[in-house]
Amino acid sequence: MSAETAAATAKKDSLFSKKNRKLLIDPLDDSNPITVQVLGICSALAITVQLQQAVIMSLSVLFVMIGGNVIVSLLRNMIPDRIRIIVQLVVVASLVIIVDQVLKAFQPDISEKLSVFVGLIITNCIIMGRLEAFALGNKPGPSFLDAIGNAMGYAWILLAVSIIREVFGSGAISLPGMGQVKFLPAEWFMSEGGFYENNNLMILPPMALITVGVIIWIQRSRNQSLIEEN
């Protein structure tokens, strides 16, 4: 990957040099963790029924990602190569335990809905993938930026999918403090005697896959260089 080699030569650059900015911007589109690197799909699909869950999940991943990348990057010269996966897992698992306990304490409803998926951040491939590919070979500064970039790349796909699914599936977006925000006048809905019926298929798991598939389709027809062989 070009981003890694670029970062290796960027040692003397300031934190916001061109190369470092690339670390931050690239994962948003050209090397998006979900649609191009194919990492972290599991959680991305399962918790996109509601925007609220997706936001909490993105924030959790952002936290674990930054923590993990910086810690592993600081430890990178001390970790023996053979046991690096276990070391990484322990670092990530400890951070996830913190997230899980905080969620249970302050957002018990969301924590209930996310159920096992908070724990599954540990095995979220984005985190392990970036630790392996980036943090193990780079200084904490660039690793920090790489973490933010990749977590943002993950977050925007999550938010896009969850907005599409919630709007078409439930006909409304539930926002904290504002209740259900309907995107059509309430009397248009079938349940109120109108003509508009929600597409319940969007709430079911398979539609998450198809929505992401369509996002990939759009992204690649815009950015032809990402097209695969078969």
The residue ranges that bind other proteins (CB under 8 A) are: 35, 38-43, 45-46, 85-86, 89-90, 93-94, 96-97, 100-101, 115-116, 119-120, 122-125, 128, 204-210, 212-214, 216-221, 224, 227-230
Spatial CA neighbour of 137 closest among 73, 70, 78:
73
C-alpha R_g of the chain: 19
Residue 135 beta carbon to other proteins: minimum distance, rounded to whole angstroms = 15
For other proteins, the closer of residues 198 and 223 by Cβ is: 223
Spatial CA neighbour of 63 closest among 124, 137, 1:
124
Residue 210 beta carbon to other proteins: minimum distance, rounded to whole angstroms = 4
Cβ burial of 81 (10 Å; 0-12, 13-18, 19+) is exposed
Could you give the CA distance from residue 143 to residue 164 in angstroms, rounded to a whole number?
Answer: 32
For other proteins, the closer of residues 25 and 46 by Cβ is: 46
For other proteins, the closer of residues 194 and 213 by Cβ is: 213
For other proteins, the closer of residues 20 and 88 by Cβ is: 88
For other proteins, the closer of residues 185 and 205 by Cβ is: 205
Residue 123 beta carbon to other proteins: minimum distance, rounded to whole angstroms = 5
Residue 185 beta carbon to other proteins: minimum distance, rounded to whole angstroms = 31
Helix, strand, coil content of the chain in percent (nearest 5): 70, 5, 25
Residue 64 beta carbon to other proteins: minimum distance, rounded to whole angstroms = 12
- Find out whether 62 and 183 touch, Cβ atoms under 8 Å: no
